[in-house]
Every structure is written in C-alpha cells, then in structure tokens.
Amino acid sequence: MLDELTIHDPAAAAAMTEPRLHGIVLALVDREQGAVELARQAQMSLSLIGHHLRRLIAFGLIVETRREPRAGRAVARYRAVARSYFVPVELSSRLSGDRLADELRAALDRARIRSILGTRYSFESGPRMRLVLDTPTPGTSELWLRLHLTPDDAAAFAVDVRALFERYRVRDGGAGPRYILHGAIAPE
C-alpha cells in the first residue's frame, strides 16, 4: 500500500470529492472489506455499492485483494491502494468543505423556519423590523463574532476549537439525531 497517492485524473478527483465515494475509499484504508460490510456501513444498497466499487477500481483508488470461496459465488474483498490521497485544487470543482457548508446552511435555514413565527414591522423611534421567534430548535445555534486578535491568539483559538471538536467527535456513539458542526476562523 502506498503512503500517499496523488490523483491526476479529473474523474478520479471528482470521485474523491463525493462524500459517499471518498467514504468508501477511506473505509478501506485500515482493513479490507467486502461489499456487504461496506453497504451496511454506508447505508447503501448492495447494487449501488457494487456500482461504486467498480468505479473506484477503474479510477485506481481501490483494488480487489482476493476472493473468498463460498457456496454459490465467491465473495470479493477490497482495499484502498494508499493510506492518503492528494487531490490538487485545480482538479476540484468545489472545495471539500463547500458541500458540507451548503448542508449546514440548509439545516440552519430549516431550523430557523421552524422557529420563526413571523416578522413584526413597527415604528418605534424610526422604522423597525424584528423577527418574532417561537422556541428555537434544540441543539441548533449559529454564532458569529468579530474580534481583533493577534496572530498568536488566532492560532490559540484554532487549537481550542479543534480540541472541542475532537472531544465531541470521540463521544459520537451513533445515537440520537445527527448534527453538522462547523467552526472557522479567518482574517477579514
């Protein structure tokens, strides 16, 4: 297995930007698996996972490692060809976080729509417009803040946010509703 594979084929690069497909590839980095295991993990039909496996093999991202004999038809086992994959930005139609950002924006909009009763327009020392809110959806929050930070403080903030995300990532037991989390810091 290679340590890293740099992808030069635009079709292979496009496959790696699809969450379902790169999820399959990355699931095969640590251990070989069969289609049934992958379908269960990815919550896909066996025919769809088979289609994706054939595509990923054609792109050179995974390989069939062996076939286990079985009554009827042998079971194929698959493995990633590398521990990591590098996709140059010029081959990416979208940055990897863009799709998740779109999903997060849609989820926040759905939560906001469920919690907005309407808009009140009034004249109180000037024209006013205010959203009238019901109880917000539990666990939903959108926080924005502008700060003046030194480069060292910005770096420390980024470390703290990563640590917070990691603390909750290890607690992810698969129970309860699934949430999208996003933390970002960037100079204006």
Domains of the chain: 2-91 (1.10.10.10), 97-169 (no CATH)
Whole-model pTM over 0.85: no
pLDDT score of 83: 96
Rounded CA gap, 161 and 149, in Å?
15
CA distance 56 to 42: 15
Question: Is 21:7 a contact under the CB 8 Å cutoff?
Answer: no
pLDDT at 82 over 70: yes
Position 184 confidence tier, pLDDT thresholds 50, 70, 90 = confident
Which carries the bigger pLDDT value, residue 184 or residue 154?
A: 154
Helix (H, G, I), strand (E, B) or coil at 168: helix
Structure tokens at 41: 């993990």
Q: What is the pLDDT of residue 93?
A: 72
Task: Tell me how far apart the alpha carbons of residues 96 and 16 are, in angstroms, rounded to a whole number.
Answer: 9
**pLDDT one-digit tens code per residue, 112-161:** 776 777 888 888 777 887 777 776 666 666 667 778 899 999 999 999 99
* Res 142: pLDDT: 67
List, for residues 7-63, the tens digit of each pLDDT value: 999 999 999 988 899 999 999 999 999 999 999 998 899 999 999 999 999 999 999
Q: What is the pLDDT of residue 96?
A: 67
